[in-house]
Structure 1
């Protein structure tokens, strides 16, 4: 070893050590304080004060209100190498979609405008990130990634520290430094200037690196930071003490940019490995600790995308005269229309709240140990409010967008009534929608219809009649399937694709499709996580064993039918789940199947897991999983030693090989276990004994900032379909995009434009298109869903909109923006 680089930073938690309401604003104050520390400790020697802002958000917030002098101090500090700002918005979980990735990276433009270059992205604590983050980083010029993993509840893909090239699905690469846990900065006495302890610990660390044959670097990178530490210059004493004692091995402070310059150059000379695949996060099991709020967050981002599309289409078509309400009511239309600036403001608020919720800090450091404390409840209230705020504002935007797009472009639109459905995507769709409709003066009911809606278009259909009660039966048949239900086994025991005659369910399964499974640790378990410390739910302690109960019932299923569908409903119960009502719908046209599970789930303390099972038939299954910006094959397209017991998906899973080929999707719950239930195996290789996809709704297998209780009364929704022609990476991604951007439906009475010019994009089935108002017009962001390059063409079917020349080239998994503009300025909102 020839040198030691000491990296000063604070680990950014939005909460944990204090309420997220307090922490978020204090991190902005940290920027001011760091600038003062730079001024107070001038010089450029090895013990100069150097600092890295671990994430970009506090610096972006600082720049919103900073004086010209403070902006110059920041710019000067970065230019001189005393400061670095990294490109990650926050330390994010795998909840993020590619839409949120883009939102976070688009925000970096404000740093460029301030003269602050961003070259590196740094994460702490989080044990994985989506494969699609590689091309997303490269699109904004970031080609280095630092992951300071927390090894609790999982493994790192290689021994920490080390470097490798991470290759994205498109072939681009980022140099990745797999660092030590950032918390060593406090544990080793560095941030508090315990110079003797720091010397002892750092010396032992260097000796370990020197002894490793797989460490081709002459530099040791050491973190000087911990959770939400208020910056001080105390760690400079460690540098001075060390250099006085060890002149043969100099230490100097560094920024992450300087450190990566050194380490990347050495990695190039050493020809370090190139690896491809998903970095699946072991800590993602925490997504199942708060099932209801995660579902709210996922619904909020779908509403946000829908709102952006309908509001953008309304602008391109030109405002009509939307129906306005006279009461600010949840079930009513808008009382006024937002201005363009107001839309931009509210959309930005939704973006911000989505990113804050998807950040990795779930609760406080006493949430698990003191679940009833006022602080624990206050902290979770602050965190959950991020999801609910995003939902409230996004839903309101989406309602306004629907009313505006219905009347857009036609000031004399005829008043009509029915169920209004908008398609926020660039391809024609025929899908079920479920909508609340009025019954009498004050009553409501839920109605479901199968609706065809053109790309970026709307449809108005009659309010569906209430389904007819057929009676009790165990078998239904409609469209492409025949279904048999046995409540004693929890659900569907036979699912026949009538087009092929193939049985889609595994005959070996002890439970049916849609069955609710409850796993609990036996009361007499002696596993270390039970008798010693919940932190021992860890690869070093395989297990624990679980007792599984299958939700079962003895009442006969109830069958209903309408013009569009046939449904079957059954009720079961299991320990800790006193009631589960499951409804499966088959549609007379098309091959989609919807399954809704309504749980009554009282609060329970103590380790348990709740699953909804889908035991598909496959003797030699391969599972294709949708992550942000990519689809990967479980096990074979993953980084080594990343999570194979469970996965956090976006929406879709493909099951293929040796039996039924199925596209499956979860609307509300991101966690799945595939090929069986593997909790506690800590497997290095996925051993898929069957073709099952198990939706892991809830668990409380945690020890710190996740909820100790388990509850989540509500409805959890799934959609799936047999694909006899086969399942591909691209079809999984397209299925997931449809679930992310569902058809928007609402009972409606108001003007409906007679002529609705719209945007046409080709090839529509291979491209996802997101519309959004931007200062100069409407941005159409095109995403290539596949691994082959293609050319996209865009056409506006009416007059008055300028569409730049086509075709638009899209690289494999590539993204391109096209700016659309009305020939005349957008009309003012109608009050």
Structure 2
């Protein structure tokens, strides 16, 4: 049996040390690998046969920007000698990553390879447990031909229910990528095929020596025997086996060429049973392709089991998502001829992709959440999102200032320029603001004029910021890339001394609808109604009715255990009141399986306890529903219904308690078009898929990271749901149970829950969810369509917002 050993470093931007320190480590690892190559080239026999597989091109990029030309030349020479092989993947990423940024960064390796005539056509990704179907397209577009994956099956599983399985991953266009879907990225270390090295400082250098004992060689043999028994049990028939390994048994590990001494000693003793050979990633795939074996082809999304942990930092995800929406505006403007500072855009993209990288913090994040390194690494991670958010705002500020924005000044006229940065016509309700220092201008009344059409627009005013500012809303139609100016004009309006409605009373909002008012639009303590929909609720059931007036159906699933938009809290309790150490805080999280539940998990459904009507006007009606829920001191669900379109905006506002135990918060979304032929679509990185249909066999079918949101579509209606701030969608029951994966038994359409936040990971991810939050969502009742591209475009249009600023233009 041939054992192909591939040494690499698993790149975690965090986890083992500060993010900036890890950058220095990886730069030095390349230098170490270069020195090893030069030693081998000079005849150092102990290291002969060693190959370093550079795991991510991010490492090379950091090396190139921090070294001189001499080091760069030495790197190229080491690559040409075959001792270092470069790979195409930029980083180990979560499904938060933007598709356009992903494509740009994946092409960096291709561009470097073409410039220096170096082969870089294989990608490696470790630890994460899945990659969006759009990731496949991005890799193919970047010249990647081979993809080696090493999933971590602690909180996830492998597709096909098999490890070490080659397959061709085919996209919708019929292009294919050869994948070797392997085992854990440190399996070679688990087998003890690594070198224990002692070092001594001599003449300002470290002289190293490997310790190789007979007992280690015996352990390797026994491990490989057991490993191959398990592989044969799953039907493995090849006479070779690849194993990934690390130079040290830790993430962010350096190269360790002394492993060749272990390999040589082992081969001498057990050559009749095994021959271990170090190999480069490109050479390994060449070997696989040279074999006369049948390799199956599969299509579909490889949904990531590890895509939920980022919701341990929900506020940073909110900041990231806002930055990403603004980034997309900036890129569209740039494509339409607007000039931006490219260096700022480059930095913005880098901050975005670094936040999307799969590592969140220090390994003590659960066991010692007070640890200063824990706090430091978390703040560094959150800084990527904060910096991206800041840069996106700065770039848009640069744009608005260069296009006539009046910055705060005495006598600034109330002219508001609106720019549609999108390539499609839009009907949009826009918002702009009158501050308290301008109150004197409009104290006797005002109107909104569209200066382009010279028409007065209907508007509605909502008081915000402790009622100190006026948020003005109006609806306009914008052509692609159109610019227009809205002007606030003071108008003398006599205030009525007696209401127009002769029957008005102080409690109209609560128990009486007058026959003399608009009978199409109501906002009461018991329901909210527009020409398109009606939502009704009760203390016992929460929101029990979401009535679509067009198709005359209640859009809430009949099998829902709770009302629409009900907040739900889960917690697994640990008794720790008198303990000095609480190892259970970590161990209970280790018990969480692939379904993110344990039998003892407690669940609390929010109970509706009060309602208040905040706004009723010509454009929107707004109601606050107050819930009582464990884990939260203050919980509000805000509903904003539009009078002139079938749209509902939803906000979850809460003060979350600080809890050390593992917990989650969900928002119930049991939506349906009430048609047996309805289909669920999810917008993922670079693709829109039907969950539990367009997936690799036995991939995760429980939760999904969306880019914009999801859609339910049937012959009756399409329901579009924009997950603006919390992009994680959970499908199916919240009860603990057997693993939920794609095995053709799970229905495509299931109960939906927005997974708002969680802290169940036992390492690395943040633990403290406490604080104040506001998360926004939108629902739109659209025309029926089964066209995925049209659904995606409609979803994009739901979250898009034009650019508005006070302007010199008239």
SS in 2 for 1:655: strand
Note closer, same or farther for the CA distance 1:88–1:153 as it changes in structure 2 (3 Å cut). Answer: same
Equivalent pairs counted in the alignment come to 712
What is the deviation of 1:436? 5.0
Q: Deviations over 1:803-830 (max 9, x none)?
A: xxxxxxxxxxxxxxxxxxxxxxxxxxxx
| TM-score, scaled to structure 1 | 0.80
Match of 2:419 in 1: 422
Match of 1:471 in 2: 509
Q: Is the 1:295–1:669 Cα contact (8 Å) retained in structure 2? A: yes
What is the deviation of 1:657? 4.8
Q: Is the 1:131–1:169 Cα contact (8 Å) retained in structure 2? A: no
What is the deviation of 1:181? 0.5
Note closer, same or farther for the CA distance 1:540–1:513 as it changes in structure 2 (3 Å cut). Answer: closer
Match of 2:560 in 1: 509
The more displaced of 383-392 and 469-478 is 469-478
Note closer, same or farther for the CA distance 1:680–1:563 as it changes in structure 2 (3 Å cut). Answer: same
SS in 2 for 1:283: coil
Q: Is structure 2 residue 289 aligned with structure 1 residue 264? A: yes
Matches of 1:116 and 1:689, distance apart in 2? 44
The more displaced of 422-431 and 361-370 is 422-431
Match of 1:604 in 2: 659
Matches of 1:359 and 1:156, distance apart in 2? 20
Match of 2:634 in 1: 579
Q: Is structure 2 residue 704 aligned with structure 1 residue 647? A: yes
Matches of 1:630 and 1:541, distance apart in 2? 26
Match of 1:319 in 2: none
| TM-score, scaled to structure 2 | 0.82
Match of 1:196 in 2: 217
Match of 2:477 in 1: 452
Which of 269, 273, 279 aligns to 1:245? It is 269
Matches of 2:297 and 2:314, distance apart in 1? 36
Matches of 1:622 and 1:176, distance apart in 2? 30
SS in 2 for 1:278: coil
Which of 588, 592, 596 aligns to 2:647? It is 592
Q: Is the 2:352–2:388 Cα contact (8 Å) retained in structure 1? A: yes
Q: Deviations over 1:42-81 (max 9, x none)?
A: 2699942211110001101222243333222222322332
SS in 1 for 2:351: helix
Match of 2:731 in 1: 674
What is the deviation of 1:605? 1.6
Q: Deviations over 1:166-216 (max 9, x none)?
A: 112332211111111012233333333464266235532663377357334
Match of 1:665 in 2: 722
Q: Is structure 2 residue 388 aligned with structure 1 residue 390? A: yes
The more displaced of 626-635 and 708-717 is 708-717
Identify unmatched segments of 5+ residues in structure 2: 197-211, 407-411, 440-467, 491-498, 500-505, 511-523, 577-582
Matches of 2:471 and 2:33, distance apart in 1? 55
Q: Is the 1:646–1:679 Cα contact (8 Å) retained in structure 2? A: no
Q: Is the 2:319–2:385 Cα contact (8 Å) retained in structure 1? A: yes
Q: Considering only aligned residues, what root-mean-square deviation do their CA atoms show, in Å?
A: 3.1
What is the deviation of 1:688? 4.8
Matches of 1:604 and 1:360, distance apart in 2? 24
Match of 2:54 in 1: 53
Q: Is the 2:417–2:809 Cα contact (8 Å) retained in structure 1? A: no
Identify unmatched segments of 5+ residues in structure 1: 317-339, 409-414, 753-831
Match of 1:412 in 2: none
What is the deviation of 1:263? 2.1
The 5-angstrom pairing of residues 721-760 of structure 1 reads 721-738=780-797, 742-751=800-809
The 5-angstrom pairing of residues 35-184 of structure 1 reads 35-42=34-41, 47-108=48-109, 109-158=111-160, 159-184=162-187
The 5-angstrom pairing of residues 239-638 of structure 1 reads 239-248=263-272, 249-266=274-291, 269-311=292-334, 313=336, 315=338, 343-405=341-403, 417-440=414-437, 443-462=468-487, 471-472=509-510, 473=524, 474-486=526-538, 488-490=540-542, 492-521=543-572, 532-539=587-594, 543-617=598-672, 618=674, 620=676, 622-638=679-695
SS in 2 for 1:440: helix
What is the deviation of 1:736? 3.7
Q: Is the 1:87–1:120 Cα contact (8 Å) retained in structure 2? A: yes
What is the deviation of 1:708? 2.3
The 5-angstrom pairing of residues 204-223 of structure 1 reads 204=225, 207-208=228-229, 211-212=232-233, 214-223=235-244
Which has more radius of gyration?
A: 2
Matches of 2:573 and 2:76, distance apart in 1? 59
Matches of 1:735 and 1:240, distance apart in 2? 61
Q: Is the 2:366–2:585 Cα contact (8 Å) retained in structure 1? A: no
